[in-house]
Amino acid sequence: MANLLVTHAHLVTFRGGRFAEIGDGALFAKDGVIAWMGPMADLRRADHQGATRLDAKGALVTPGLVDCHTHLVYAGSRANELQMRLQGKTYAEIAKAGGGIVSTVAATRAASNAQLRAATSRRLSALMAEGVTTVEIKSGYGLDVEHELRCLRIARSLAADHAVSISTTLLGAHAVPPEFKGRADDYVDLVCDRMIPRAASEGLASAVDGFCESIAFGPAQMKRVFESARRHGLRVKLHADQLSDGGGAALAAEYEALSADHLEHTTEAGIEALARAGSVGVILPGAFYYLRETKLPPIASMRRHGLRMAVATDCNPGTSPTTSLLTMVNMACVLFGLTPEEALAGATCHAAAALGLDDRGVLEIGRRADLAIWDAHEPAELAAQIGGMRPTQVIFEGRVRQ
């Protein structure tokens, strides 16, 4: 594997989860891993012989971005729902009337493997263009055993022809599919007894997620899903307290979830429980914006309790149709009041933690050499644009991404 030496870089490291910089720095990547980094003045010739050199000329170099919450595998469009919402219908009303998640399920089931893969690949490429080097992809629009596994397989297969790392999550408990209408508990049985065991035994998912909400699954049902995940050795995550306070955060904490996501309606006690459990709070400003929500997530409480905050796209056709993680960084600042440094930590180191990946998201010796190089001098420049910002170069596993 080729070795790479990046010189004269303004390194943003996030070591220990904290914003830190090395003004005129160098970074040596060997076999895809950061073998040395530090001030230019400390760089020794012997350490990097034979390496390809890349002069960053003072540019900002951050960890490669991590999008820790996406629903990239789907077919069809939900543009009609924007019109319905503009006429005053809520997300819950649209879902109850047969729109929402189940309408995307119908379109996704009807799509061929090639169509579904092509649509997902387009969205993945758009994310990558902004410097994303790790993406989480959830299933959740198949909602039967074969279609959920198919979506996970398609998601995993994309790593073969995209220079990106993909982490997959089984979201069988996303909604009750039409064939189980009125029999949510029977569907939960299917998720627990057939979907989770298959996803685990076939190595198709790294975690199990669910939608805990009055229009989806209640805490008792989610508990059964989490018990099954635990039996099969999978960590859990949860869409929690997005539209109402359903006790999702406390439940996620009880199962030491990797993350609890959304959290607009979470109480102080819920935030405290998550922080104590070591979970990450994933904030999703795209969904907040697109659903025209008004209840802000309790950011002050998250800071007070030291809950690590990640920022993600939640890319999906119904509540957050975006493939721009940097726009989410911008929105996290403008709508939720994060500082640019907090938001950038949320799209790098804390996002990696939300996926249980401790080998990335931070620039430090021994971590993966996944980097993004920006024509910028400070993190605020990455947060100050509404879309359109692109890294000048991306390094993935120690190589310049073409």
Given the complex with ligand NIG, which of 34 and 354 has the nearer CB atom? 354
323 binds ligand NIG (CB under 6 A): no
Helices 101-110 & 145-157, crossing angle to 10 degrees? Answer: 70
Structure tokens at 340: 């640019």
Could you tell me the smallest distance in angstroms from the CB atom of residue 102 to ligand NIG?
9
In the range 308-327, which residues lie near Fe ion by CB under 5 A?
314
Sequence-ordered alpha helix ranges (H) in 232-284: 248-254, 268-277
290 binds ligand NIG (CB under 6 A): no
**Count of residues of this chain found to bind Fe ion when the rule CB under 5 A is applied:** 1
109 binds ligand NIG (CB under 6 A): no
Could you tell me the smallest distance in angstroms from the CB atom of residue 106 to ligand NIG?
12
Other residues' Cβ atoms within 10 Å of the Cβ of residue 13: 22
Helix (H, G, I), strand (E, B) or coil at 214: coil
Stretch that binds ligand NIG, among 100-108, 183-191, 219-227, 337-345 (CB under 6 A): 100-108
Side-chain half-sphere CA neighbours of 59 within 13 A: 18
Sorted by sequence, the CB contacts under 8 Å of residue 97 that are 6+ apart come out as: 89
In the range 210-249, which residues lie near ligand NIG by CB under 6 A?
211, 239, 242
* CA torsion through residues 266, 269, 271, 277, sign: negative
Given the complex with Fe ion, which of 247 and 318 has the nearer CB atom? 318
Given the complex with Fe ion, which of 34 and 284 has the nearer CB atom? 284
* CA torsion through residues 331, 336, 340, 345, sign: negative
User: Using CB under 6 A, which of 32, 63, 64, 100 touches ligand NIG?
Assistant: 100
Given the complex with ligand NIG, which of 37 and 176 has the nearer CB atom? 176
Could you tell me the smallest distance in angstroms from the CB atom of residue 148 to Fe ion?
15
Environment class of 245 (CB within 10 Å of its CB; exposed 0-12, middle 13-18, buried 19+):
middle
347: closest CA among 125, 37, 134, 121? 134
Contacts 24+ apart (CB under 8 A), 188-191: 188/217, 188/221, 188/224, 188/225, 190/144, 190/145, 191/225, 191/228
User: Using CB under 6 A, which of 316, 322, 324, 348 touches ligand NIG?
Assistant: 316
User: Using CB under 6 A, which of 3, 108, 319, 322 touches ligand NIG?
Assistant: 319
Contact pattern for ligand NIG over residues 295 through 314, marking x by CB under 6 A: -------------------x
* Residue number with the smallest Cβ distance to Fe ion: 314
User: Using CB under 6 A, which of 177, 210, 281, 318 touches ligand NIG?
Assistant: 318
Q: Are 315 and 293 spatial neighbours (Cβ–Cβ below 8 Å)?
A: no
Could you tell me the smallest distance in angstroms from the CB atom of residue 393 to ligand NIG?
32
* CA torsion through residues 153, 71, 171, 300, sign: positive
Pairing of strands 21-30, 33-39: antiparallel
Given the complex with ligand NIG, which of 131 and 318 has the nearer CB atom? 318
293 binds Fe ion (CB under 5 A): no
Could you tell me the smallest distance in angstroms from the CB atom of residue 91 to ligand NIG?
7
Interface with ligand NIG (CB under 6 A)? 100-101, 104, 211, 239, 242, 287, 314, 316-320
**Interface residues toward Fe ion, by CB under 5 A:** 314
